[in-house]
Amino acid sequence: MKIDTTILQSIQNEIDKAKKIAVLGHHHPDGDSMGGSGAVYTFLKNMGKEVGLLMPSQFSPSLAWMPNVGEIIRYDLDKNAFEKSINEADLVFCVDYNEAGRTGAAEAVLKNSPATKIVLDHHPNSGSYGNYIICETSVSSASEVVYEVLSKLNNAEKYICKTVAENLFTGIMTDTICFSVNSSRPRTFEIAAKLLKFGLDKDKIYGNVNFNFSEQRMRLMGFILDSKMNILPEYNLAYAVLSLKDQEKYNYKHGDAEGLVNLPLSIKGVDASVLFIEKEDYVKLSLRSTNDFDVNKLARLHFNGGGHQRAAGGKLDDISGEAATALLLKVLPDFYADYKGQK
Ligand SMILES: [Mn+2]
């Protein structure tokens, strides 16, 4: 990926002159936002900067082992410390998003901060948020973007350490679902190879991310696949609703639904999968696809969301899971005809 040298120089200057810096991930950060942010944070600390590592809200328990988790200041847990860090910062790094709204409840704090904002991201429909925006949709992850930027800064070889590498490797590994998607460019593997040279334990990271769930979550998964999954062969799509009742029965915790939406894609003929998760006053959607089924478009057009072509999210307020699925069934025929080029 090409990075404009003028922007790179500006980022170097901003870092050099900044006294305090904050690094902020997105709402319910995933491995990529946590890893990319943790890498920027550690790199800047290695430079001797005063840095805060901030997250708006809870992350999946499968990420609780990550290297800088103990240093995170969470908006939902400690608003004062979070606001202090953002308000005092001269510079804020936004990792894995390009719209301030992606920081959820922390949006206003971010927007009100007078700091210079540097956005490092890989999501489409890049907004104009941020003073310096490096957003490249062709790469695997924000962590890959972070690597490309950090490795070109002055004395990078001194500041990229094993912890930076672990963070970035986790981000790339999780966003590519262990190098199964968004990872066809040789460069992604070249970066992974460079990171491995720092002596990180790849198998341990894989195990930490994938073998760290509860028994209840596995039983919930079995229940969803057996009793709740619907397949619509005529639309090459599968969907399921995780109702509040189901969540109560299986003692649902944040992060338990992670990866669930991907499972139906392993069925022959299923190109897209939608998981509806009922919340108290809204329904959250996760959408995944293979081939050219554009779930980013589906989420943007009909479900107040977006993301990537093959991985997106959405949200419907004040609605039941049942009503949300009815909406999907209503918009599918036209959307599918468009996908198949029949329109
Ligand atoms: Mn990402």
Mean pLDDT of the chain: 95
CA of 234 to the centre of ligand 1 (A): 31
Q: How many angstroms does the Cα of residue 323 sit away from the middle of ligand 1?
A: 30
Question: For residues 190 and 192, what is the distance between their CA atoms, to the nearest angstrom?
Answer: 5
Cα–ligand 1 centroid distance for 343 (angstroms): 32
C-alpha 339 – ligand 1 centre gap (Å): 25
Query: For the chain, what percent of residues have pLDDT higher than 90?
Result: 92
Q: Which CATH number is 5-210's, of 3.90.1640.10, 3.30.300.30, 1.10.10.60, 3.40.50.720?
A: 3.90.1640.10
pLDDT at res. 126: 60
Compute the distance from residue 316 Cα to the ligand 1 centre, in Å: 22
In the prediction, which pLDDT does 95 show?
98
DSSP H or E run through 222: helix 215-223
Identify the architecture of domain 215-339 in CATH: Roll (3.10)
How far apart CA 217 and CA 197 sit, in angstroms, is 35
Give me ligand 1 centre to Cα 173, in Å: 10
pLDDT digits (tens, 9 = 90+) for 224-268: 999 999 999 999 999 999 999 999 999 998 889 988 999 999 999
Q: How far apart are CA 303 and CA 50, in angstroms?
A: 40
Mean pLDDT on 4-12: 97
Whole-number pLDDT of residue 128:
79
Place of tokens 């919340």: 279
**Interval between CA 249 and ligand 1 midpoint (Å):** 31
Contact 272, 283 (CB under 8 A): no
pLDDT category, 77, cuts 50, 70, 90?
very high
- Ligand 1 midpoint to CA 255 (Å): 16
Confidence (pTM): 0.90
Predicted pLDDT at 342: 58
Q: How far is the CA of 26 from the centre of ligand 1 (A)?
A: 10
- pLDDT digit string (tens) for 64-76? 999 999 999 999 9
Domain boundaries of the chain, sorted by first residue: 5-210, 215-339
